Amino acid sequence: MVKLEVCIDSLESAINAIHGGAEELEVCSSLAEGGLTPTLGLVKQILYMVRNIGTGTPIHQTCSDCKCPELTEKPSVNVMIRCRGGSDFCYTPKEVETMLLDLGIMKNMGVNRFVFGALTSEQEVDVVTCAKIIAKANPLPVTFHRAFDMCKNTLISLEKIVKLGFDRVLTSGQRPSVEDPESLQIITDIMGFYHDKIHIMPGGGINTENVKKYVKLGCPLIHSSCKVARPAKIGKTLNMGMETAGPERIYYTDKNSVIRLRCAIRNELLQIQKH
């Protein structure tokens, strides 16, 4: 089985992801900035919703042209721990303290996993900070997020991530998107060295076509936002702190996009089994 993790930053998106058949939710705020720590209210709402899904009954819809099995297990609620934007992932002691406090509160709320990553100014894995997060999260598992794609040395960095105790790494193959041909080659290389030591989860531009390559490669997890956009109800924009202004658009996870992606994964698995 290949699991689909859908990243979301709103209750609407969480509902759509669940109804579309996502096995896991990566709960964030501000996906436009790559995902930040979500609000306590959003996490509480999602946990409440997941806990009240009827056990043993279908919890999502399937598309009409495939035979995806119904899911009866409740989705995992995975929470991003990242206190601010910026792609340096280098955190001050006070920022680390903030994130440890956030993690502790959400751990007590009953989430299933955390998502985190920290680097040094030399673009190496910040072993000290990551060790603190791993210890605080214990016994809950932790995914190392796409900060990995900023690391200078792929295999040395992954070795550190494994030794720290992360059980997953989210990666676009150290390229902006998995659409890049070099991304597939890098993830292939990583899988060759580390598939039995840590779960490699491709993400960043995953769609119904390119996902087939990563399923065929043997990746046990797939990560996507399955997002679409709609115009804001009010046409004006205040810029709201962004450097550039344009037509206001609201991005959200689309249920049908989740359904199609899950079906693409399932169909590729069936093709592999046939051969």
Please report, for the domain that includes residue 36, its CATH number. 3.20.20.380
Q: Which domain holds residue 255?
A: 3-274
Per the model's pLDDT, the better-predicted residue between 186 and 274 turns out to be 186
Answer yes or no: is pLDDT of 245 > 60: no
Return the structure tokens found at 19: 């109804």
Q: What is the pLDDT of residues 141-159, one digit of tens each?
A: 999 999 999 999 999 999 9
Report pTM.
0.91
| pLDDT (average), residues 251-272 | 96
Per the model's pLDDT, the better-predicted residue between 184 and 64 turns out to be 184
Domain tally, the chain: 1
What does the pLDDT read at residue 64? 45
Q: What is the pLDDT of residues 199-214, one digit of tens each?
A: 999 999 999 999 999 9
Q: How confident is the model at residue 70 (pLDDT cuts 50, 70, 90)?
A: low
104 to 22, 58, 244, 274: CA distances (angstroms): 26, 33, 36, 46
Tell me whether residue 108 is exposed, middle or buried, using C-beta atoms within 10 angstroms of its C-beta: 0 to 12, 13 to 18, 19 or more.
Answer: exposed
Answer yes or no: is pLDDT of 244 > 50: no
Which residues lie closer than 8 Å to 180 by C-beta, 6 or more apart? Answer: 172, 173
Answer yes or no: is pLDDT of 68 > 60: no
